[in-house]
Structure 1
Amino acid sequence: MSTPPQVNIPGCGIVQGIETSAQPTVAKFLNVPYATVLERWRPAVKPTPWKGVRDASEQGPMCNQPKSANILVAMTSVEVDEDDEEAYSKVYSEEHCLNLNIFVPKNQLNRSQPLIPVMVWIHGGGYKDGSNAMDLYDSSNLVAHSIKTVGHPVIVVTINYRLNYFGFFSSPELVQEVQSDTRLSSGDHSKSVGNWGLLDQKMALEWVRDHIEAFGGNPMEVTAFGESAGSASVGYHLTIPAHHGLFQRAIMQSGTPTTMTAGRPELEGQRYFNQLCRHFGLNDPNMSGAEKLAKLRKIPAKDIAAAGDNGKIGMFIPTIDNVLIHGDVREWIHDPSRYDPRVKAVMLGDCRDEGSMFVPDLGAKSLKQWPRFLSRYCPPGEEREFGAIYGTPKTDADAVRISSTVLSDVVFLYPIHSTSVALMRSGENRRGDDPLDIVRYHFDRPLSIVETLNLGLGAHHAVELPFIFGSDTTLDIFSDEEKTLSLRVMNIWILFAWGLTSRQYSLKHGLDSVLPADVGEGKQEAIVFTEAATVEKAQVERLSARTIAFWRRSEGWSKSMREEKARQRQRQANL
């Protein structure tokens, strides 16, 4: 039996990983700490170096979280008896959840090998749930495929970060407390509120930059990739100046910052704070905000997380705290100057039926619910145009179908389009020898096993994930043609990390390759993973010019509404 792989990480210590019998070319190092949480709702700190050899053969704990209704999460999540305190503490830990898993070609541990690209995965889950411990994200087969078949080996790092009430929670009470904390420095974003999850991700990316060379990885060839909230996170890192330079390439799967738009402590944050206080009976009007926070800090993390199980809490979001995030992301996402000028390439994509999973919470499930849905997404006076684009429902089934399409467009496709345009314009300002490559894709293949359940989800949100990682768990549910498609998807993601996908698929015709009104014959530049499990090329933009113009006007209407509400709040404050 071979000796377990060991790596001495300068400044940290020695870790001893494992190699799996199924993929002997790949070494895994699990539960490697990149930070420690010493105090709830405060920045994490770098971990203390360890002495001796640290066992990195088992999954580390994840952030405490409520149960997930997501079908893929349910299929691949860790099961644990919450009444078994010892078992629960191994799976969930507020203090020690900031760990990462490293999947590396075993030959790279030989220092004589050239350094290779690194892919850092940021999982989704609405900033509410998920972890790197999910079987879905086991990257052994992805790395093995990069070695044996593609011939361009990569290292994959999957990270945990703080979620829900622990990572994305704010309120005026919390802002006041943090701002008055003299232990925190105002110069390093330590006084940021409601963005601890994003700051955790930044620390993980900095850890990779500083230490991945010990595993044979090239810290100057890092691809950050994520899905949904993970993809939105990548977008935030691309557009927050203090986070620039953390990676050189990015893959954004079904999400941009405007998919998970940062909220305000006094509005969205206050609502979550009040909900949490009501849940724990802390709604005494005579109790100060500081007293409520002190009591909330003493509540066990398991109970805090469970407060999100009551069905009244949806997706958590980052916070406009005027420390890390300044201003409304829906406005500055269009600004080309905000994007990291050092990023070499960005790949953005969507799933064909993104909105289908969100109809129960955000859509119209019946004709009775349609007027409310329409008033939420259609500006006054635009009803006729809205109907011309999407149709008018005549049945409950119509209401479901149309609201699903609307949610796909407004939450995913239009933000992806807007980000693509801003990125292309940012690339126009670069030097000729340092161009920005942009790749677009569409994923149209539903999962066969989900289709057999007759849920009507189609190629739903996150459907591409099993194909990207091709873990043993998902291989068991794939049809033969899905197994073949998974290998094709892996090829494209791996080659992108090497800077090679863009040579074949990069947009080459400027903005006219994105804007539908200008796309002509021969400009088929998007990668399409088809329902028939093939890989083809098609037009980049699936939204019509008319649809894009509608949502652009809707953005203007939303902005005016926000500004009016802000003026009303200011008038009330002056009374």
Structure 2
Amino acid sequence: MDRTVKTRFGEVCGAAVDGVMAFKGIPFAAPPFGAGRLRPPRPVEPWRGVRDATAFGAAPPTLPLPPEVAALIPDAGVLPGEDCLNLNIWTPEVGAAGLPVMVWITGGFFEFGFGASYDGRRFARDGVVCVTFNYRAGAEGFLDLGDESANLGLLDQVAALEWVRDNIAAFGGDPGNVTVFGESAGAMSIGTLLAMPRAEGLFRRAILQSGAAHAVTPTAAARRIAHDLAGRLGVPATREAIAAAPVERLLQAQEELKADLEADRGRWGPEVAAGGLPWQPSVDGVVVPDRPIDRITAGAGAGIDLIVGTNVDEGRVALVVPGAVDRTPTEAVAAVATTFGLPADAAVAAYRTAHPGGGNGELLAALQTDGFWRVPALRLADAHAGAPAGTYMCEFAWPSPAFGGLLGACHGLEIPFVFDTLDPSFRPVLGPALGEDPPQQLADAMHGAWVAFATSGDPRWPRYDLARRATMRFDTAGDVVDDPRAVERELWERALL
């Protein structure tokens, strides 16, 4: 099996693994530090000779994971470093041609996440060229100072997709048949890319897992966040001044700012309060011209085939893992309803009816699941349903046995099933929540549907439309459900439309 591939920037040598080829740590842009810090990604410098691509490259600098997250995400085993804008490729065969390409965009609250945490070899086994990559997160990637510093993390994503367009044929992939797929912040990124002029033509299909097209910060709020960060650093709110701050100090200030937001969710307005994401993309008028959902409603992304999916119990992980699910007062449920714009009394009553016998923690998790994940996903599917390209809806419903079964089908749990990496040897994200005997047939179904969609645009279940709202429900016995949990959906529509 040939292990050397010539890219536009130089040759790389990969390694054979389980019958496929893996190429790791390939730079797609110059290091975003020194003169490049807090600036758009720059082209990588060509290299001479053959570059070793058998080990993952450096990761972007981030803070340690919160304990409740670290408990479920195994260490990727990569160290932070300046040359962090790199990607990884798994391909069935270097000499192949015209294979579908799937590019994974990692999640992590726009604060952390590494391409090295995900193993694409099962996609390569099934005839797909799979790509994962890093992008700048936190203030390094999403600080908006109003001077072309905004949305650098999104521009990193565009740079990676441009690299794929220009080089993936050498790895057997078809640059005209690229599917982007991602989870959480990765899916929110894709929802934004669908509406970004800079990303037009870089992918043909998209799969959004637990993320949609609403997670953006208005310009004024984004600038206030930037000035707040500068004040914590004790420097002027300019790119030059903040770029001169040590990475460790910037990360510390970023963490302080996030802690203050958690203590006062209304600090920077409802768009930031709802998700608690100070570093999400911002509407800067250039990279992100307007709210992505508004542009999609107006026709952006109409030619892109789309799968939009959520998990039934997205919000439980944030309550169950730290042990807060049994310590949730009724007032907290009402406060979250108000944050999302719902009438508190009506919302609490409706969710008590929908979840008979459920405690306040369960109601709070259900509200957060709908408000931050499911309702935005439905609105994206609704906006895209009339487009010429296909729209498909799904939900993941297999409950984790961890924490006495309290986690349910929590946020991120579908990832090992999508990648077909249930075996502990893969050290999958959310692996500790899978239990001792996760259902392989469910991984076969989800992974197979993703491969089918990337290949042909058809995941093998009915299209979504406003009349039927057909939704593929992934559990041990997968089936199509029409308009699941319509009562809650209608509550949100009455309150917010």
1:353 corresponds to 2:313: yes
Equivalent position of 1:529 in the other structure: 474
Equivalent position of 1:17 in the other structure: 14
- Distance (Å, rounded) in 2 between the aligned partners of 1:369 and 1:297: 39
Equivalent position of 2:400 in the other structure: 447
- Distance (Å, rounded) in 2 between the aligned partners of 1:214 and 1:98: 20
Q: Deviations over 1:415-474 (max 9, x none)?
A: 1111111111223xxxxxxxx2222211111233xx2x3372211011100111233224
How far did 1:75 drift? Answer: 4.1
How far did 1:299 drift? Answer: 2.3
Tell me the amino acid that sits aligned with residue 238 of structure 1.
L
Residues 377-526 of structure 1: matches in 2 within 5 Å? 377-379=340-342, 382-391=343-352, 398-427=359-388, 436-448=389-401, 451=402, 453-454=403-404, 456-471=406-421, 472-474=426-428, 479-499=436-456, 501-502=458-459, 504-507=460-463, 510-514=465-469, 525-526=470-471
Residues 213-292 of structure 1: matches in 2 within 5 Å? 213-258=169-214, 260=215, 262-271=216-225, 273-275=227-229, 277-278=231-232, 280=233, 282=234, 288-290=236-238
- Distance (Å, rounded) in 1 between the aligned partners of 2:143 and 2:485: 34
Tell me the amino acid that sits aligned with residue 323 of structure 1.
V
The answer to whether the Cα contact below 8 Å between 1:413 and 1:543 also exists between their aligned partners in 2 is no
Tell me the amino acid that sits aligned with residue 120 of structure 2.
S
How many residue pairs end up in the alignment? 467
Mark the CA change 1:368 to 1:394 in structure 2 (over 3 Å): closer, same or farther: farther
Q: Deviations over 1:552-574 (max 9, x none)?
A: 45445xxxxxxxxxxxxxxxxxx
- Distance (Å, rounded) in 1 between the aligned partners of 2:255 and 2:237: 24
How far did 1:254 drift? Answer: 0.8
Q: Matched residue of 2:385: which SS?
A: helix
The answer to whether the Cα contact below 8 Å between 1:320 and 1:327 also exists between their aligned partners in 2 is yes
Among 106, 122, 128, which residue is 1:141 paired with?
Answer: 122
In structure 2, stretches of 5+ residues that fail to align are 262-275
How far did 1:402 drift? Answer: 1.4
The answer to whether the Cα contact below 8 Å between 1:445 and 1:459 also exists between their aligned partners in 2 is yes
Tell me the amino acid that sits aligned with residue 140 of structure 1.
R
Q: Deviations over 1:74-108 (max 9, x none)?
A: 4444377xxxxxxxxx7112x42111100011xx3
Tell me the amino acid that sits aligned with residue 129 of structure 2.
I
Mark the CA change 1:79 to 1:350 in structure 2 (over 3 Å): closer, same or farther: closer
- Distance (Å, rounded) in 2 between the aligned partners of 1:306 and 1:26: 41
Tell me the amino acid that sits aligned with residue 410 of structure 1.
G
- Distance (Å, rounded) in 2 between the aligned partners of 1:79 and 1:225: 20
- Distance (Å, rounded) in 2 between the aligned partners of 1:101 and 1:74: 25
The answer to whether the Cα contact below 8 Å between 2:133 and 2:160 also exists between their aligned partners in 1 is yes
The answer to whether the Cα contact below 8 Å between 1:14 and 1:53 also exists between their aligned partners in 2 is yes
Equivalent position of 2:272 in the other structure: none
How far did 1:535 drift? Answer: 2.1
Among 5, 27, 33, which residue is 1:33 paired with?
Answer: 27
The answer to whether the Cα contact below 8 Å between 2:315 and 2:369 also exists between their aligned partners in 1 is yes
Equivalent position of 2:338 in the other structure: 375
Q: Deviations over 1:238-267 (max 9, x none)?
A: 122332211111111111021x2x113432
Tell me the amino acid that sits aligned with residue 122 of structure 2.
N
How far did 1:342 drift? Answer: 3.1
The answer to whether the Cα contact below 8 Å between 1:319 and 1:325 also exists between their aligned partners in 2 is yes
The answer to whether the Cα contact below 8 Å between 2:230 and 2:237 also exists between their aligned partners in 1 is no
Equivalent position of 1:86 in the other structure: none
The answer to whether the Cα contact below 8 Å between 1:378 and 1:386 also exists between their aligned partners in 2 is no
Q: Deviations over 1:517-570 (max 9, x none)?
A: xxxxxxxx422222xx2322222x3242x54344245445xxxxxxxxxxxxxx
- Distance (Å, rounded) in 1 between the aligned partners of 2:390 and 2:248: 44
- Distance (Å, rounded) in 2 between the aligned partners of 1:348 and 1:47: 34
The answer to whether the Cα contact below 8 Å between 1:366 and 1:396 also exists between their aligned partners in 2 is no
- Distance (Å, rounded) in 1 between the aligned partners of 2:452 and 2:159: 26
Residues 84-99 of structure 1: matches in 2 within 5 Å? 91-93=79-81, 95-99=82-86
Equivalent position of 1:149 in the other structure: none
- Distance (Å, rounded) in 2 between the aligned partners of 1:394 and 1:219: 47
- Supply the RMSD in Å over aligned alpha carbons: 3.0
Q: Deviations over 1:160-186 (max 9, x none)?
A: 11100110112xxx21xx2xxxxxxxx
Tell me the amino acid that sits aligned with residue 412 of structure 2.
A
- Distance (Å, rounded) in 1 between the aligned partners of 2:416 and 2:341: 35
The answer to whether the Cα contact below 8 Å between 1:366 and 1:395 also exists between their aligned partners in 2 is no
How far did 1:506 drift? Answer: 3.1
Q: Matched residue of 1:496: which SS?
A: helix
Q: Matched residue of 1:512: which SS?
A: coil
1:109 corresponds to 2:109: no
Q: Deviations over 1:147-206 (max 9, x none)?
A: xxxxxx111000111100110112xxx21xx2xxxxxxxxxxxx3x42111111011111
Q: Which moved more, 1:303-312 or 1:43-52?
A: 303-312
Mark the CA change 1:402 to 1:496 in structure 2 (over 3 Å): closer, same or farther: same
Equivalent position of 2:152 in the other structure: 196
- Distance (Å, rounded) in 1 between the aligned partners of 2:456 and 2:366: 34
- Distance (Å, rounded) in 2 between the aligned partners of 1:554 and 1:62: 43
Q: Matched residue of 1:48: which SS?
A: coil
How far did 1:375 drift? Answer: 3.0
Q: Which has the larger radius of gyration?
A: 1
How far did 1:393 drift? Answer: 12
Equivalent position of 1:542 in the other structure: 484
The answer to whether the Cα contact below 8 Å between 2:210 and 2:411 also exists between their aligned partners in 1 is yes
How far did 1:346 drift? Answer: 1.0
Residues 547-566 of structure 1: matches in 2 within 5 Å? 547-555=488-496
Tell me the amino acid that sits aligned with residue 489 of structure 1.
M
- Percent identity over the alignment is 27
Residues 21-100 of structure 1: matches in 2 within 5 Å? 23=18, 25-36=19-30, 37=32, 38-69=35-66, 74-78=71-75, 91-93=79-81, 95-100=82-87
Mark the CA change 1:552 to 1:28 in structure 2 (over 3 Å): closer, same or farther: same
- Distance (Å, rounded) in 1 between the aligned partners of 2:356 and 2:349: 17
Tell me the amino acid that sits aligned with residue 99 of structure 2.
I
The answer to whether the Cα contact below 8 Å between 1:442 and 1:527 also exists between their aligned partners in 2 is yes
How far did 1:65 drift? Answer: 0.9
- Distance (Å, rounded) in 2 between the aligned partners of 1:154 and 1:288: 48
Tell me the amino acid that sits aligned with residue 29 of structure 2.
A
Among 131, 139, 154, which residue is 1:157 paired with?
Answer: 131
TM-score (norm 1): 0.75
Mark the CA change 1:417 to 1:480 in structure 2 (over 3 Å): closer, same or farther: same
- Distance (Å, rounded) in 2 between the aligned partners of 1:242 and 1:142: 28
How far did 1:365 drift? Answer: 2.4
Q: Deviations over 1:116-162 (max 9, x none)?
A: 1000000111111111111xx11123322x1xxxxxx1110001111
How far did 1:288 drift? Answer: 4.4
Q: Deviations over 1:206-252 (max 9, x none)?
A: 11111100111001111100011111111111122332211111111
Q: Matched residue of 2:59: which SS?
A: coil
- Distance (Å, rounded) in 1 between the aligned partners of 2:153 and 2:237: 23
Q: Which moved more, 1:488-497 or 1:459-468?
A: 488-497
How far did 1:372 drift? Answer: 3.1
Mark the CA change 1:378 to 1:289 in structure 2 (over 3 Å): closer, same or farther: closer
Which protein has the bigger helix share? Answer: 1
Q: Matched residue of 2:115: which SS?
A: coil
- Distance (Å, rounded) in 2 between the aligned partners of 1:405 and 1:481: 24
The answer to whether the Cα contact below 8 Å between 1:507 and 1:513 also exists between their aligned partners in 2 is no
Equivalent position of 1:150 in the other structure: none
